[in-house]
Structure 1
Amino acid sequence: MKRLLVPLAAAGLSAAALAFPAAAEPTWVQDPLAPKPADAYSNAFFWLDGNGAALKKATQYHWDAKDVPKLMTTQAKSFDGKPGMTAPITSAKPGAKVKNVNLPRSLGKVFFLDRKGNYQWCSATSIQSRHRNLVATAGHCVYEDGKDVYRKWVFVPGYYQGKAPYGVYAGAYAFTTYDLDVYDDYDGDYAFVAVHNGFTLTTEKKVTAAEYKAWAGDKWIKKREITAEEFAKCKLNLGDCWSEGEDTPADLVGPDFPGAVLEKVEVNEKTYTDAKVGRGQGFKFGEPVVEQVSKVEQDAYKGPGKRGTDTHGNYTITHYYTQKWVKPGTSRKYFAADYIIGLAKDTGKLGDTVGGQGFAWNQPKGQPVYAFGYPGDPHPDGDKPFTGVTPKFCYGKTGTKTYQVNTFRVEEHQVLKCSMTGGADGGPWLIKYDNAKRTGYVNGVTSLFADQDGNNRIDLISSAYFDSETADVYNKATLAETKSLVGPNGEILY
């Protein structure tokens, strides 16, 4: 995929904006996810359709046990640049409650398709931005192997047990570090994604053919079978009614003809007596059937069977049958079209709906932090304490030293003691977390999981250190403008 390295307008950068010499190597990249509203609507509808069937089908971004590294301690590194913060969005509208009230409303999952077509998810959070439309997550939850962006990328805040209480927000543009994008360097394993307004699917409505044709949103035709009489009364010029197939009689075939159907034909006694025994056209069909009837029924009988009486004087009709092997005929069927449109509702800008966490960079290590996410992977030993359905968190002080792991080109990760497993990656690390307001400052996102003591249990997670380069990527992302996808009548806005 072609990279967009065109810088955004510099007006309105936050205090973290950095000035780079013209000849300096770029530190950030921008990639399109679904800038056009119609494409974004299609991506979000993919996950919402069928009562969220695709959401429920998705599995966590998976770390194989062999990929769980042991992080190596390096000397504590001092980072150039002054510390900075942007305040969280605290004016979120009330909405559906998350099970644990201490969890931030901004927390959710990102869903996407990888190049193999697998349905996957990671953790993420809404974050403060100029246009209240930004999501923070791990870079590997947006970029596949540090190259192309994933397909059908969306964010679902407040995700809980297959539900999207605040709607689905389709990604428009992704921003990450140049080193992650080009070199798959996990020292830059974070991404900021500008998303369009969210929406939910509300109901469906039957409309006329003209209304159906003019509808810009989701729509489909339901095929309804009708009678030949109803078909004759239907207006054919608009294609509202049609027929399929044709009337054809059944053909006589041999018993071994593919799809041959066996029928029985009533015959007289002589025909039955002369017929052969076995399996074939005109052969006997079982033994004669003796039916007890009244005198009136016997007199009224017009068939080829034999009238008589039994030893007790009861009136009888003896029926004789031969085999008839046929290829079934067909009949014309008639249908009418019901024109259906799907109605959607705009849930507004992400930050206005669920709020957004603040952002922090160049912060000292060793301070308290909450790490949130949706862990779902088992531990390397196979134990699976998490379902991936509900959000979890870890709390503690980050390590004071810098960590590295050569497998992922990591030299400068910060760490936190935590037993959350894969699926929590991309989840925010929040410093200065206010439990009442459920807001803090994103100072990292879960990137790697480690087994430090070698007992095949995750006991440490790591994040890229958010420095001045991170602030630069964030500042570019916060300027990205996005759109509403749905109009006041539930239609797509182009």
Structure 2
Amino acid sequence: MKRLLIPLVSAGLSAAVLAAPASAQPSWASENLTPKPADAYGDAFFWLDANGAALRKATQYTLDTKDVPKLVSAQSKTVPDGKPGMTGPTTTSKATTSKNVNLPKTIGKVFFLDEQGRYRWCSATSIQSRNRNLVATAGHCVFEHGKDDTFDKWVFVPGYYQGKAPWGVYVGAYAFTAYDLDTYDDYDGDFAFVAVHNGFSLAPERAVSRKEFNEWLGDKWMKPREITAQEFVKCKLNLGECWSQGHGTPSLVGPDHPDAALERVEVSKATYDRAGVGKGQGYKFGEPIVEQVTANQYQAYKGLGTKGKDRLGNYTITHYYTQKWVKPDSGRKYYQAQWMVGIAKDLGALGDVVGGQGVAWNQPLGQSVTAFGYPSAPHPDGNKPYSGVTPKWCSGKTYTKSVQVNTFKVETHQMLKCSMTGGADGGPWLIKYNNSKRTGYVNGVTSVFADNDGNNRIDHISSAIFDGEVADVYNKASFKDTGAIVTPKGELLT
């Protein structure tokens, strides 16, 4: 990289003995993603709700460029800005033997909303750090246009497959990148390290009492259950608990009529506020009911309820009801409110669940590397060989000279011959990859895709060179501590 190069002592950076960051002018930039547990809960729920519907809806993130760039080889070898160094990987996987490449447990997808609100993904990996909570990916998969702001609802899903999060969702708390990328949109610094909260998953919903429902600090909602007429008679005077629904225009009666059926009538908040309390025509029907809805339902809603967002960031519509006592008609159905809560589970620190790849810096070019990612975008000629559903890989030696990419202000990138396409952005480049242990050392992340022979097919990928500045950013990110976003009981931490 070109500015603010701060070399590190090669042996000084390890998970156990990281030194405190220096107070010199930083080569790093940082932004908050979702540091508060309550907000992180909402982001995780957003992606996991409806059996991972939002995850399945996402498409690969692509750089905003009209032409596929060509990588231009530099005239001389890149000189390291300090001594070489590395920190070792950790693993939770048992060693295995295979003639094929064993996919690391650490790799997965990062999901986020781009500046247009579209659901996007890039590739990433868990890496070793003192707090076992770091993700490495491309800077352009975290920072909008490389500067000023970060993408919304950013999460990491290791081992992602077809809407499933087998090891949970890890919400981004703090993001770190190169000063040059954040300030100048300079892709020589196109990498990012993100400190994530503990893993999060959703257990099956559970029905609770109204008292438990009111006291629950996590996700909750009301779900109607159809009951018999006999069951209705037993609970119809518990206002807000039971009601009926029929057809036609039945006769109005008083609440004390032996056959009286209670209907609920949705009204505006103003009408509800003016209504009396008790049993009678037009009186309040229990407490308002808050319904969680999708963003599209929220925007399209034209009813009497009031729209808003809850403390978790979910879209909600609050419904208000008054009483209507009628004589039962044929075909009438009866319902009882079920008070439901969503149970969340804390899975622990990312590194404890899936392990973490090592990190290496100031290594010579010309190294053998294995690059992983979730390619999905078509080639420039329209051919689409990848689905993005499962991770892919390519391997080889990086070029011995750095390359330039004028489109992205790149002066020194490392280059690898590889045909993976967009969606593989942010995927790790691992040197010294141990196929049995599924671990290696991250010495780059996929940044730019290139068509160097001009046949409208991606044939090369490039990465920022992991030098002393990258080590400095990594060192800084390693000190960010995070933790659980829900209690052992499954409630929200505030």
TM-score (ref. length: structure 1): 0.75
Secondary structure at the aligned position of 1:424 is classed as coil
The 10-residue stretch of structure 1 (160-169 or 454-463) with the greater mean CA deviation from structure 2: 160-169
**Match in the other structure for 1:336:** 336
Report 1:440-479 matches (<5 A): 440-479=440-479
Name the residue aligned to 1:384: 384
The code of the aligned residue for 2:356 comes to G
Q: Which runs of structure 2 are paired with 1:403-442 in the superposition (5 Å)?
A: 403-442=403-442
- The 3 A distance-change label for structure 1 pair 49 and 424 is same
Residue 374 of structure 2 is aligned to residue 374 of structure 1: yes
CA offset at residue 342 of structure 1?
1.7
Aligned to 1:182: 183
- Assess, with a 3 A threshold, how the Cα gap between structure 1 residues 229 and 16 changes in structure 2: closer, same or farther: closer
**Which one is further off, 345-354 or 446-455?**
345-354
Answer whether contact 2:68 2:449 (CA < 8 A) is retained: yes
| Greater CA drift, 429-438 or 228-237 | 228-237
Equivalent residue number for residue 402 of structure 1: 402
Confirm or deny: 8 A CA contact 1:16 1:468 kept in the other structure. no
- Matching residue of 1:133: 133
For 2:230 and 2:164, locate their aligned partners in 1 and report how far apart those are by CA, in whole Å: 45
Aligned to 1:74: 74
Cα distance in structure 1, aligned partners of 2:47 and 2:145: 23
Post-superposition Cα deviations, 1:430-486, rounded to whole Å, max 9, x if no partner, equal 001111000000000000000000000100000001111111110111111111123
Contact 2:110–2:154 (CA<8 Å) still a contact in 1? yes
Shift of 1:164: 1.1
SS at match of 2:338: strand
Q: Percent identical across equivalent pairs? A: 69
Answer whether contact 1:124 1:373 (CA < 8 A) is retained: yes
Query: Please, which moves more after superposition, 73-82 or 134-143?
Result: 73-82
Aligned 8 A contact 1:217 1:342 in 2: yes
Paired with 1:20 and 1:186, the residues of 2 have a C-alpha distance of: 25
Contact 2:13–2:86 at 8 Å: present in 1 too? no
Q: Which structure has the bigger radius of gyration?
A: 1
Q: Does the residue aligned with 1:446 lie in a helix, a strand or coil?
A: strand
Query: Using the alignment, how far apart are the partners of 2:74 and 2:239 within structure 1?
Result: 74
Task: Check if 1:38 corresponds to 2:35.
Answer: no
- Alpha-carbon distance between aligned partners in 2 of 1:430 and 1:373, rounded to the nearest angstrom: 12
Distance between the aligned counterparts of 1:39 and 1:21, measured in 2?
Answer: 31
Report the Cα distance in structure 2 between the residues aligned to 1:363 and 1:238, rounded to whole angstroms.
Answer: 71
Deviation at 1:62?
2.2
Partner residue of 1:197?
198
Q: Which residue of 2 aligns with 1:221?
A: 222
**1:416 partner letter:** L
The 1:145–1:205 alpha-carbon spacing in structure 2 relative to 1, beyond 3 Å, is same
Q: 1:383 to 1:489 in 2, by over 3 A?
A: same
- Shift of residue 334, structure 1, vs aligned partner: 5.2
Alpha-carbon contact 2:93-2:437 (below 8 Å) kept: no
Letter in 1 for 2:430: L
- The secondary structure found in structure 1 opposite 2:205 is strand
User: AA paired with 2:185?
Assistant: D
Task: Tell me, in whole angstroms, the C-alpha distance in 2 between the residues paired with 1:49 and 1:114.
Answer: 19
Separation in 1, partners of 2:492, 2:473: 31
> Hey, what's the Cα distance between the residues in 1 that align with 2:245 and 2:127?
55
Alpha-carbon shift at residue 181 of structure 1 (Å): 1.1
CA contact (8 A) 1:136 1:426 kept: yes
Give the letter aligned to residue 361 of structure 2: W
State the shift of 1:239 in Å: 2.5
Q: Which residue of 2 aligns with 1:482?
A: 482
Unaligned runs of at least 5 residues, structure 1 = 1-11, 251-328
1:393 is aligned to 393
Contact 1:123 1:423 in 2 (8 A): yes
**Cα drift, residue 77 of structure 1:** 2.0
Contact 2:450 2:461 survives alignment (8 Å): yes
2:211 alignment counterpart:
210
Q: Counterpart amino acid of 1:493?
A: L
Question: Which SS does the other structure have where 2:66 is aligned?
Answer: helix
Question: 1:58 deviation in Å?
Answer: 0.5
Do 1:93 and 1:352's aligned partners in 2 also have CA atoms closer than 8 Å? no
* 1:489 shift after superposition: 2.3
**CA distance in 2 between partners of 1:475 and 1:387 (Å):** 35
Q: Following the alignment from structure 1 to structure 2, what is the Cα–Cα distance between the partners of residues 398 and 385?
A: 24
SS of equivalent residue, structure 1 residue 111? strand
Which deviations, in whole Å up to 9, do the C-alpha atoms of 1:332-384 show, x marking residues without a partner? 87542101112222221110110000000011000100000000011001111
Cα deviation 1:31-90 (Å, max 9, x = unaligned): 111111111111111111111111111001124673320011112221221111001113
Once the two structures are TM-superposed, the CA of residue 136 in structure 1 deviates from its matched residue by 0.2
In the alignment, the residues of structure 1 paired with residue 440 and residue 212 of structure 2 have an alpha-carbon distance, to the nearest angstrom, of 48
Q: Which runs of 5+ in 2 are unaligned?
A: 1-11, 252-328
User: Displacement of 1:208 after TM fit?
Assistant: 0.6
Local SS of the residue matching 2:222 = strand
Q: Is the contact between residue 139 and residue 188 of structure 1 (CA under 8 Å) also seen in structure 2? A: yes
Contact map agreement 1:65 1:380 (CA 8 A) in 2: no
Measure how far apart 1:390 and its partner are.
0.7
Secondary structure of the residue that 1:80 maps to in structure 2? coil
1:242 deviates by: 4.3
Amino acid of the structure 2 residue aligned with 1:396: G
Residues in 2 aligned to 1:418 and 1:64: alpha-carbon distance in whole angstroms? 21
Q: How many residues align?
A: 399
Q: Name the aligned partner's letter for residue 112 of structure 1.
A: F
CA distance in structure 1 between the partners assigned to 2:371 and 2:335 by the alignment: 57
Does the CA-based 8 Å contact 2:449-2:461 persist in structure 1? yes
Aligned to 1:108: 108
Distance 1:107 1:20 in 2: 31
In 1, are the aligned partners of 2:93 and 2:105 still within 8 Å (CA)? no
**Alpha-carbon distance in 2 for matches of 1:77, 1:16:** 27
- Alignment match, 1:265: none
- Residues 374, 423 of structure 2: 8 Å contact kept: yes
- Residues 253-305 of structure 1 deviation map (CA, whole Å, 9 limit, x = unaligned): xxxxxxxxxxxxxxxxxxxxxxxxxxxxxxxxxxxxxxxxxxxxxxxxxxxxx
Shift of residue 93, structure 1, vs aligned partner: 6.1
Aligned mates of 1:18, 1:43 — CA distance in 2: 31
RMSD across aligned C-alpha pairs, in angstroms? Answer: 2.7
Contact 1:16 1:84 in 2 (8 A): no
Taking structure 1 as reference, are residues 47 and 403 closer, same or farther at Cα in structure 2, changes over 3 Å only? Answer: same
Structure 1 residues 16 and 70: CA distance shift in structure 2, 3 A: farther
Distance 2:244 2:201 in 1: 36
Structure 1's 468 and 393: CA in aligned 2 closer, same or farther, altered over 3 A? same
Does the residue aligned with 1:203 lie in a helix, a strand or coil?
coil
Q: Are 1:168 and 2:173 matched, yes or no?
A: no
How many Å separate the matches in 2 of 1:77 and 1:94?
38
Equivalents in 1 of 2:440, 2:250: separation in Å? 76
